[in-house]
Amino acid sequence: MKTIAVMFAMDAEARPLVDHLALEENPSAFARANGAAPMKCFTGRVTSSSTGEDDAPTVIHVVCAGSCAKHSVCNVGTVGAALSTYETCVSLKPDVIVNAGTAGGFAKRGGKVGDVYLGSTFKNHDRRIPIPGYDAYGVGEYEAHPTPKLAEALGCKRGVVCTGNSLDATETCKKLLDEYQASVKEMEAAAMAHVAHLFGVPFIAVKTITDIVDGPVATQEEFLANLGAAAAALKNVVPKVVDFIAGRDVDDL
Ligand code: SAH
């Protein structure tokens, strides 16, 4: 693999990988946006443990959605995700995009705090447009790039990832999350999958569970209580994903 982009919504999710790979901040990554792009990029090179000594190292860009200039919090959600994926595809031209982050899980589908999932399919559960044609557009279903070998190497769960712009879930959201058999609920992956598809860039997502959507504790409380456990799971798994991908061809994942 020549170039990998690993994309996060929140700086705190990205930091352990940036430190682990000793990446340098890359202030010119999104220069074409003339300072308007909120994203941050950290760049370096990795040599996979499975790569021969003669092989060139893989360039890795870790991209975070950055902070909202008006509200001074991370640009979580689909707007920040689409912006950062678009600019990443145009400016950094990755061979593969990996979205990594925290997410909600579902006890009724076997999810537990700290679980790691590779996304199989991405759907939006909060874009409900009951007009013929727009209904399917709203759901915006995209498939992950096939990664059977990576899934086996990680020994992680696989499942449908559903994206919406709220941390909570209304009754209608919950009904759709069940209809779509969601194993993972988060706020970015379907937007990134859509943009990656525009550019024909293979897209995969690895998500660790901070909170149980169908559990007894309110999402925001549980999210904050378990962020450490999920961040530790991310810190453990994302370097493995990078090492695995860096040493292979995109059709051999
Ligand atoms: N309160 C947090 C902000 C969390 S916003 C803070 O202190 O900074 C939620 C982020 O976590 C999004 O990037 C989203 O993708 C992910 N996430 C985790 N659990 C989620 C859930 N149950 N539903 C939706 N998004 C979730």
Rounded mean pLDDT for each run of 10 residues along the chain, 253 residues in total: 96 92 96 94 92 80 97 98 98 98 96 95 98 98 97 96 96 97 98 98 96 87 78 89 94 95
Closest approach atom of ligand 1 to CA 163:
24
Active-site entry in 115, 126, 186, 211: 211
The response to whether residue 102 sits with its C-beta less than 6 Å from ligand 1 reads yes
Per-residue pLDDT at 223: 77
* Residue 24 annotated as catalytic: no
Per-residue pLDDT at 54: 67
Per-residue pLDDT at 216: 86
Looking at residue 104, its amino acid is G
> What global pTM score does this model have?
0.95
Per-residue pLDDT at 196: 98
CB atoms within 10 A of CB 20: 12
The response to whether residue 188 sits with its C-beta less than 6 Å from ligand 1 reads yes
Q: What is the largest CA-CA distance in the chain?
A: 56
- Residue whose Cα lies nearest atom 19 of ligand 1: it is 103
| Cα–Cα distance measured from residue 6 to residue 65, given in angstroms and rounded to the nearest whole number | 11
| Helix/strand/coil for 236 | helix
Per-residue pLDDT at 53: 64
Chain position carrying tokens 């997410």: 103
The response to whether residue 211 sits with its C-beta less than 6 Å from ligand 1 reads yes
Per-residue pLDDT at 226: 80
The answer to whether residues 203 and 197 touch, using CB atoms and an 8 Å cutoff, is: yes
Q: b or e along 25-40 (b: 16 or more beta carbons within 10 Å of the residue's beta carbon)?
A: ebeebbeeeeeebbbb
Helix, strand, coil fractions of the chain, as percent rounded to 5: 40, 25, 35
Structure letter (DSSP) for residue 56: P
Per-residue pLDDT at 52: 64
The response to whether residue 223 sits with its C-beta less than 6 Å from ligand 1 reads yes
